[in-house]
Amino acid sequence: MSNLTLFLVQWGLTSLSLWVASYIFSGLRFADGGSLLIAALLLGFANAIVKPLLILFTLPLTVITMGLFLLVINALVLMLVSALVSGFTISSFWTALFASIFISLFSLFISGLVF
């Protein structure tokens, strides 16, 4: 597969994960399909750029909590994307935390089926 094909497949899987999560978690909403696609794209970029920096800056706290703080980082990245994309809302931190766990696990499962 070419790099563009891999990128598009991963973007589609992230979009699917966000879409399913919006049906499971009542506090996670998209105004339309466009905001869903933009949120998926921005989430991919945030996970590639912002998340590694957050992990680096919070490394002592992550080590002390034996990695559990990574769940908080995932939730914060999801909330950041929600703040940047109009039409994508998350009602609370707890919704972001549990939704980010679901999105990670669902994406892992679907990626295992596709790749």
Distances (CA, A) of 43 to 64, 76, 109: 27, 11, 18
Helices within 1-92 (DSSP H only): 3-24, 33-57, 59-64, 69-84
Residue 7 tokens read as 């990128």
Residue 70 tokens read as 């990574």
Tell me, what's the pLDDT at 115?
84
- pTM beyond 0.85, yes or no: yes
Tell me, what's the pLDDT at 110?
94
Q: Would you give per-residue pLDDT tens digits along the chain (115 residues)?
A: 799 999 999 999 999 999 999 999 999 999 999 999 999 999 999 999 999 999 999 999 999 999 999 999 999 999 999 999 999 999 999 999 999 999 999 999 999 998 8
Note the residue count of the chain. 115
Tell me, what's the pLDDT at 1?
77
* Single-letter amino acid, residue 69: F
